[in-house]
Chains A and B, each alone.
Chain A
Amino acid sequence: MKDFGPVGSLDGRMVRVLDGVSLSAARGAVTVLLGANGAGKTTTLECAQGLQRADAGRVRLLGEDPHRASPQLRARVGVMLQEGGLPPSVRPMALLRHVASMYRAPLPVDLLAERLGLGAFGAVSIRRLSGGQRQRLALACALVGRPEVVFLDEPSAGLDPQSRTIVFDLINELRADGLAVILTTHLLDDAQRLADYVYILESGRTVAEGTVADLTADQDADGLRELEFETVPGLALPAELLPHLQQSEPYPGRYVIRGALTPRDVELLAGWWGAHGVMPTAITMAPRSLEDVFLDISGRSIR
């Protein structure tokens, strides 16, 4: 709960961390909670897991109140906490075996460990593991009981590209096996790659939801949303040239024009280049991305 800052928990009680979150997750689908740090993602998960109790509203986990979850209900739910919750002095495989022993028919520990590449560092204590190795161990602990529902809080945090691929493949297989996967991330790319359904959280509210396709569908223009080009830095592109579009120069020499782009805008821009002797070294056009949706929403709430 550290990352909630001023809206965070006080004395273990929630002080309006969440105010108007409404979501549900289906089996056989990856539901992603997307939001900046402090948006309320972890608190939402903790309410759903029963680690925190919501002051108001209704929370149901497999039809039951998660705060009063019976051991049988907990056995159907796998949890990977943001900071892992792993004891530093224990060896990874010893922990995984111990967690497995809480279930009647756990997954074969060795196969799971092999799948997640835990064997390579199974003999050292957890405090010596890297962030990515801990993430994989925490994921194994969440899956070892054959859950029907898995909560993964920031599963890709600290992963190198190879571990990320392993973890993402696994998440895709969990979905294919009919599990309900609920994960949080502040990385748009994660959501774009994994999500069947996305909820965007902002200041403790769900501000947008839908499939990635729904959210990125551009009703304004013909599918194009962003034009990026590279040339000499410090170009004085006049704002009145494309008044309905946002212009920026995120890096020197790289220009981004965002908005409802029309063929006429492209013509105007190319005309300006010609008139000013500007030769772009690269031009890309991209459809509206989840990032645009996210920026739109954040921008709106800031204004």
Chain B
Amino acid sequence: MSTRPTPGTESPAVEPRSPGAAAALGTRVVRHGSYEALAMLRNGEQLVLAIVLPLLALVALVITPLLDGYGASRIDIAAPGVLALCTMSTAFTGQGIATGFDRRYGVLRFLSTTPLGRSGLIFGKAVAVAVVLAVQLVVIGGTALLMGWSPLPAGILPAAVLLLVGSAAFTALGLLVAGTLRPEATLAVTNLVWILLAAAGGVIIPARSLPEIVQGFVAVLPSAALGDGLRTAFLDGALDPLACLVLLAWAALASLAAIRWFKWS
């Protein structure tokens, strides 16, 4: 910050003639997305939630008779549900907790004063979720393939659509929780909801095999829509339109609610 730069070295002077300029929007979003994705992948607890627990679930579902009687092999029923579980881990619980604490520490406020801005921050988070989800797909999906999973190739495109809409819905829900509750409460709520949905939300165990009283309720949950939708995609090679609509509705409602009620500080 010397006014007279030392010859031969570049001075870190703040030169009024070269005023600050923002990097391009895409650059900012991608950079922030990779920064957040790395932060998530480096965080031990997040990694347990994103990789270890889904892997354990996959193994448990294959070695126990829990999923017998659905017409397909255990792994073919289990793998799509575990991928739905992965989406919930990353987009809802992981992103929710990270955002909750960033909000507490004023990180959201600080970053929103940089050229990243509020919208860049949100888009960056979406990119981070997509990156981590891609890593999960490779690791969990790869493990499932090694365990004998044989997804229908025709189901890949419908599954990609559902994963995209599903991660949008769960990211919006995670941000809604993180932006309205204290971080400790966010931590508790997102973990509890993750466990409840994993156990009885139609993620791993198909909604139609749950007690009849709750079936109608569970069917409209984003968890059941994603779990059942992915099973339909990989087992039948088709896009479940109802599941897709349910997820779109959740994404839209949660986004609107987050825009309305999210508190930055």
Contacts and interface: CB of A to CB of B under 8 A. Distances in A.
A and B interact? yes
A99 B35 CA distance: 10
Interface in A111-162: 111-112, 115, 138, 141, 143, 145-148
Contacts of A75: 19-22, 114-115
Interface in B87-140: 102, 105-117, 120
Nearest to A50: B113
Interface stretch (A85-93, A194-202, A253-261, A273-281): A85-93
B20 A147 contact: yes
Interface residues of B, number: 43
Contacts of B116: 71, 102
B212 interface: no
Contact of A115 (B12, B23, B24): B12
A112 B13 CA distance: 9
A226 to B, nearest CB: 36
Interface of A: 1, 12, 27, 49-51, 69, 71-72, 74-79, 81, 83-90, 98-99, 101-105, 107-108, 111-112, 115, 138, 141, 143, 145-148, 170, 173-174, 176-179
Q: Output the residue of B18, B19, B27, B110 with the most chain A CB within 10 A.
A: B110
Nearest to A88: B105
B109 A76 contact: no
Contacts of A88: 105
Contacts of A102: 22-23, 28, 31-32, 114-116
B109 A85 contact: yes
B39 A89 contact: yes
B95 to A, nearest CB: 14
B25 interface: yes
Contacts, number: 142
A84 B106 contact: yes
Contacts of A74: 22, 113-115, 117
A253 to B, nearest CB: 45
Interface in B1-29: 1-3, 10-16, 18-25, 27-28
B110 A141 contact: yes
A85 B19 contact: no
Contacts of A107: 12, 14
B14 A84 contact: no
Across chains A and B, which 8 residue pairs bring their CB atoms closest together, nearest first? A85-B110, A85-B106, A111-B12, A75-B22, A79-B113, A178-B16, A71-B115, A75-B20
Nearest to A97: B35
A86 B20 contact: no
Contacts of B15: 146, 177
B73 interface: no
Q: Output the residue of B20, B24, B106, B110 with the most chain A CB within 10 A.
A: B20
Given A71-B117, A75-B22, A108-B10, A98 B35 contact: yes
Contacts of A176: 3
Given A98-B35, A105-B21, A174 B1 contact: yes
Given A147-B19, A173-B2, 17 more contacts: A12-B265, A50-B113, A71-B117, A75-B19, A76-B19, A81-B106, A81-B110, A81-B113, A85-B111, A88-B105, A89-B43, A101-B31, A102-B28, A102-B32, A102-B115, A103-B115, A145-B20
B263 interface: yes
Contacts of B28: 71, 101-102
A8 B15 CA distance: 38
Contacts of A108: 10, 12
B69 to A, nearest CB: 45
B109 A112 contact: no
A104 B115 CA distance: 10
B110 A86 contact: yes
A143 B21 contact: no
A177 B1 CA distance: 8
B30 to A, nearest CB: 10
Contacts of B13: 173, 177
